Amino acid sequence: MSHQYKKNIIPEKLKAEFRKGFYPHRPAFWLEDISYQRTSIKPDIEKCLSEIKKGRRQFSYPDHDALVFRILKKVIKKYDLKQGADIGCASGYFPAMQIACGIEKCDIFEIRDLKIEHPKIEVRIEDLSVKKTLKPRYDLITCLSTVEHIGLGRYGDPLDPRGDIQMAENIFQLLKPGGIVLISFPVGKGSVVFNAHRIYSGYRIDQLLKDF
């Protein structure tokens, strides 16, 4: 169940929990940018693939997306990766990039209602911010500009100060031995911009990626 809060009425105890874990001896910065996103999405994978085929490489995050495509094109061929997954890409571009670069099948993990019709795509409505035991099944996982939002409630997910770290642990479980993860998130002064995203300090990054 998701929680919704208005500005300036976030319980202080909850704020304190969210601000932990960014620095050894002090809390993270706290800002507020409260809104709520749609709960149903329908990416057009064929359109994404068509645009990629025409040479488009820049989508929601231009330089970032172009770099992601170059990396995918290189590693999928070099390591003969077959089974892919993407975590939380509402636009559909990152799963489409995986397929365009040679992934045979891509599972998309989402918590929102997601409708996609494509023979190489399977949708999995599953909350990866919850502790669970998972079997390794993927050669490649992309989690791009997603993990920083987890546990903040903006996308209908339950509030959890460590939801991002739990998601990273679950991603590690899903990865086959020798598999590859592409993950991206904002880096800078450790901050929680509630309920939009986190900005990761080095200390928080160490916790997030401790299993990799």
| DSSP assignment of the chain | ------TT-S-HHHHHHHTTTSSSSSPPEEEE------SEE---HHHHHHHHHTT---SSSHHHHHHHHHHHHHHHHHTT--EEEEES-SSSHHHHHHHHTT-SEEEEEESSEE----TTEEEEE--TTS-------EEEEEEES-GGGTTSSTTSPPP-TTHHHHHHHHHHHHEEEEEEEEEE--BSS-EEEETTEEEB-HHHHHHHTTT-
Average confidence (pLDDT) over 78-96: 94
Indicate whether 19 belongs to any domain.
no
Indicate whether 45 belongs to any domain.
yes
Among 6-10, 58-62, 191-195, 203-207, the minimum mean pLDDT is found in 6-10
Q: Average pLDDT, whole number, for the chain?
A: 92
- Kindly report the number of other CB atoms within 10 A of residue 100's CB atom: 19
The whole domain housing 135 covers 40-185
Select the highest-mean-pLDDT range: 53-62, 130-139, 151-160: 130-139
Indicate whether 27 belongs to any domain.
no
Q: What confidence score (pLDDT) does residue 106 get?
A: 98
Q: What confidence score (pLDDT) does residue 9 get?
A: 63
Percentage above 90 pLDDT, the chain:
79
Provide the number of structural domains found in the chain. 1
Indicate whether 32 belongs to any domain.
no
pTM above 0.75, yes or no: yes
Q: What confidence score (pLDDT) does residue 38 get?
A: 67
pLDDT band at 57 (very low <50, low <70, confident <90, very high): confident
pLDDT band at 2 (very low <50, low <70, confident <90, very high): very low
CATH number at residue 152: 3.40.50.150
pLDDT band at 1 (very low <50, low <70, confident <90, very high): very low
Q: Which residue has the higher pLDDT, 36 or 148?
A: 148
6 touches 169 (CB < 8 A): no
Indicate whether 31 belongs to any domain.
no
Indicate whether 89 belongs to any domain.
yes
Query: Please, is 6 exposed, middle or buried when counting C-beta atoms within 10 Å of its C-beta (0-12, 13-18, 19+)?
Result: exposed
Indicate whether 126 belongs to any domain.
yes
Indicate whether 197 belongs to any domain.
no
